[in-house]
């Protein structure tokens, strides 16, 4: 009954509705303190995370020093600690059904392990089987394929027994590099360029979590 033995889920804006309520305000707060005058809209923030990605933006565009990276991380974590984001109801159904049928649920995210597990717990979801978050070294974060390869190794899976679900390009790039099927989660934003990319390159592209549920468990 399982289409995929393992669902590998991004966290922010795939499972939780978090960027608009946590990560974007944290970015604005950090810029007010560290780069006065630096600003972008929420849609542009999604575009930046899509490509080149937040780490590349900090290092290659803003040229943050290691000390500034630590300061930005602290500001971001202060926002994350005081707010538990809501889980999309349709994704809660996906996670619960996958576990009920004996499948695995793993998380590969640019949030940190502690916060991911807290969000699952506080929203009444089963704990993920494995979590690979921002606390990992650079070479073990997406878009590097290492997290998917490590999940395969630990759980004795073939690539075709896994499905990566993500809302942004780093997840797509990671899945492509690892030879793992990919599903685009396009329910958190309404940014034409991102939707156009996902629709063009991702055979599985969904506007609502309920569509993903129907594909997985119909």
pLDDT at 218 > cutoff 90? no
Q: How many CB atoms lie within 10 A of CB 81?
A: 12
User: Which residues, in sequence order, are CB contacts of 127 under 8 Å at separation 6+?
Assistant: 117, 120, 121
User: Residue 134 and residue 141: Cα distance in Å, rounded?
Assistant: 7
* Per-residue model confidence (pLDDT) at position 95: 98
pLDDT at 152 > cutoff 90? yes
Residues 106 and 172 in one domain: yes
Which residue, 110, 198, 104, is CA-closest to 152? 104
* 194: confidence class by pLDDT, cuts 50, 70, 90: very high
Residues 164 and 212 in one domain: yes
* CATH number of the domain residue 132 falls in: 3.40.50.1000
* Per-residue model confidence (pLDDT) at position 151: 98
Determine the structural domain holding residue 146 and report its residue range. 6-17+86-217
Percent of the chain with pLDDT over 90: 96
Residues 59 and 167 in one domain: no
Residues 161 and 107 in one domain: yes
Residues 157 and 64 in one domain: no
Q: H helices within 82-112, ranges in order?
A: 89-100
Q: Are 159 and 174 in contact (CB under 8 A)?
A: no
pTM of the model: 0.93
1 lies in some domain: no
pLDDT tens column, 80-97: 999 999 999 999 999 999
Instruction: Give the long-range contacts of residues 212-215, CB within 8 A, separation 24 or more.
Output: 212/90, 212/91, 212/94, 212/165, 212/183, 212/185, 213/90, 213/93, 213/94, 213/97, 215/3, 215/183
* 209: confidence class by pLDDT, cuts 50, 70, 90: very high
pLDDT tens column, 22-48: 999 999 999 999 999 999 999 999 999
Percent of the chain with pLDDT over 70: 100
* Per-residue model confidence (pLDDT) at position 11: 98
Q: Are 139 and 158 in contact (CB under 8 A)?
A: no
| Planar angle of CA 200, 131, 46, nearest 5 degrees | 40
Element (DSSP H or E) covering residue 183: strand 182-185
Residues 92 and 28 in one domain: no
User: Residue 11 and residue 130: Cα distance in Å, rounded?
Assistant: 13
């Amino acid at each position: 009954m399982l289409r995929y033995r393992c669902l590998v889920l991004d966290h922010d804006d795939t499972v939780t509705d978090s960027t608009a309520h946590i990560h974007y305000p944290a970015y604005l707060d950090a810029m007010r303190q560290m780069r006065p005058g630096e600003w972008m809209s929420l849609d542009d923030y999604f575009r930046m995370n899509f490509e080149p990605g937040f780490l590349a933006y900090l290092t290659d565009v803003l040229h943050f020093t290691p000390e500034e990276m630590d300061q930005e991380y602290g500001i971001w974590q202060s926002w994350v600690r005081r707010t538990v984001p809501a889980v999309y109801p349709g994704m809660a159904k996906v996670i619960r059904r996958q576990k009920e049928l004996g499948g695995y649920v793993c998380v590969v995210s640019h949030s940190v392990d502690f916060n991911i597990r807290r969000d699952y717990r506080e929203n009444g979801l089963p704990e993920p089987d494995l979590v690979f978050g921002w606390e990992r070294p650079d070479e073990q974060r997406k878009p590097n394929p290492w997290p998917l390869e490590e999940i395969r190794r630990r759980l004795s899976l073939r690539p075709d027994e896994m499905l990566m679900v993500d809302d942004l390009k780093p997840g797509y790039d990671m899945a492509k590099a690892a030879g793992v099927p990919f599903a685009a989660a396009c329910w958190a934003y309404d940014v034409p360029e991102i939707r156009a990319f996902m629709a063009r390159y991702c055979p599985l592209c969904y506007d609502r979590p309920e569509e993903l549920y129907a594909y997985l468990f119909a």
